[in-house]
């Protein structure tokens, strides 16, 4: 009976007499004194400054040219023409001329850019059918309701690919030409690789065409309709390369990866450096871009641009991270100096700051 009372009394709730439960485990507690904290602050300021200068020099080694062609060159005519909805199906081409004063060495990447185009809106991002894009035939006939109002055409045929993202696909095309040192010389087309520029997982996993034996791609998509803003159906997106059609079209895949910010750029092509004079990159000289002007930007007050750039291991010409490191280094160094002054004036004898 005595043992029973002992287990049910206050002793039953007492923790075990172990090092863990009685908090007798060995521990290390740093002593934060001026002699240890101040050197650490100066060391961190030095490290951040080193990283900032290193990244800044890396970024400045890249070459980049941005051309806003919304109304530049002869594109002002096309800009005015695209204001009228009735001219949407009429072709319009324009040319923009620019010089390259310093050679682009190495791989050169050609981007198109949009400003004030919000691909990050939730309803816009949800307006797609990933099951359809992976090649499921059932989704070709009955797409997801998330694609509304771009789910079916007026005749009731399902749209492929459905949704607002695919319907708003960027459809300007570019031809880059090299004129040498003078504009009077015969222009030389600059070769651009337009295939193989997507992520491997997108091209081989996330986007697939429907497959059936003895059926062509056009037969696979029989009974479907193209998105309202498209000129050609999905199986005729690339007239020059029949293997680059359907849901595995590189331009479509790149567009379907939504941008996080309203101002963005997307890859259009990479310089093909097999033949002279482009084996080492883009040489110095005059260039022009022939543009098939199709994508309207007036409705959302946007701008269009092309970007020619080289890349490093750090990426393109982005100064945010180097500047952030340099600003952080300056703030840490300023704080360290202030603490040093206080320590020197009030706590150097050890009676105030080290107790």
pLDDT tens-digit profile, the chain (355 residues)? 445 455 556 666 788 888 888 888 888 887 888 888 899 999 999 999 999 999 999 998 899 999 999 998 889 899 988 887 666 678 899 999 999 999 999 999 999 999 999 999 999 999 999 999 999 988 999 999 999 999 999 999 999 999 999 999 999 999 999 998 776 678 899 999 999 999 999 988 999 999 877 888 999 999 999 999 999 999 999 888 888 999 999 999 999 999 999 999 999 999 999 988 999 999 999 999 999 999 999 889 999 999 999 988 888 888 899 999 999 999 999 999 999 998 888 876 655 544 4
How far CA 197 is from CA of 202, 268, 303, in Å, comes to: 11, 8, 24
How far CA 14 is from CA of 2, 5, 19, 20, in Å, comes to: 18, 15, 14, 14
Q: How does pLDDT run across 215-228, given as a tens digit for each residue? A: 889 999 999 999 99
Between CA 96 and CA 69 the distance in angstroms is 7
The vertex-273 CA angle with 201 and 288, nearest 5°, equals 100
Given a contact cutoff of 8 angstroms between Cβ atoms, the answer to whether 77 and 94 are in contact is yes
| pTM (2 d.p.) | 0.82
Rg (CA), the chain: 31
Q: What share of the chain is helix, strand, coil (3-state, %, to 5)?
A: 35, 20, 45
For 3-13, b where at least 16 C-beta lie within 10 A, e where not — what string? eeeeeeeeeee
Given a contact cutoff of 8 angstroms between Cβ atoms, the answer to whether 263 and 305 are in contact is no
């Amino acid at each position: 009976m005595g043992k029973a009372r002992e287990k049910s009394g206050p002793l039953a709730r007492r923790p075990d007499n172990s090092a863990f439960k009685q908090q007798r485990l060995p521990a290390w507690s740093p002593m934060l004194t001026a002699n240890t904290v101040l050197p650490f602050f100066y060391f961190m300021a030095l490290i951040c400054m080193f990283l900032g200068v290193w990244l800044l020099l890396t970024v400045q080694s890249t070459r980049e040219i941005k051309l806003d062609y919304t109304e530049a060159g002869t594109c002002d005519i096309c800009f005015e023409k695209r204001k009228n909805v009735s001219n949407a199906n009429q072709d319009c081409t324009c040319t923009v001329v620019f010089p390259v004063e310093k050679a682009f060495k190495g791989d050169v990447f050609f981007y198109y850019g949009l400003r004030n185009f919000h691909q990050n809106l939730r309803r816009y991002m949800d307006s797609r059918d990933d099951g359809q894009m992976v090649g499921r035939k059932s989704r070709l006939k009955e797409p997801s309701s998330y694609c509304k109002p771009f789910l079916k055409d007026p005749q009731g045929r399902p749209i492929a690919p459905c949704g607002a993202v695919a319907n708003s696909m960027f459809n300007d095309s570019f031809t880059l030409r090299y004129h040498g040192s003078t504009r009077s010389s015969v222009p030389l087309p600059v070769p651009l690789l337009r295939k193989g520029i997507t992520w491997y997982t997108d091209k081989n996993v996330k986007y697939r065409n429907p497959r059936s034996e003895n059926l062509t791609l056009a037969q696979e998509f029989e009974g479907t309709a193209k998105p309202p803003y498209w000129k050609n159906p999905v199986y005729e997106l690339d007239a020059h390369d029949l293997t680059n059609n359907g849901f595995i079209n590189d331009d479509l895949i790149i567009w379907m990866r939504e941008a996080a910010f309203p101002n963005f750029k997307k890859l259009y092509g990479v310089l093909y450096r097999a033949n002279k004079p482009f084996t080492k990159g883009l040489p110095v000289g005059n260039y022009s871009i022939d543009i098939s002007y199709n994508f309207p930007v007036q409705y959302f007050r946007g701008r269009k641009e092309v970007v020619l750039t080289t890349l490093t291991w750090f990426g393109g010409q982005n100064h945010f991270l180097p500047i952030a490191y340099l600003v952080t280094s300056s703030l840490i160094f300023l704080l360290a100096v202030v603490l040093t002054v206080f320590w020197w004036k009030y706590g150097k004898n050890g009676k105030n700051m080290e107790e």
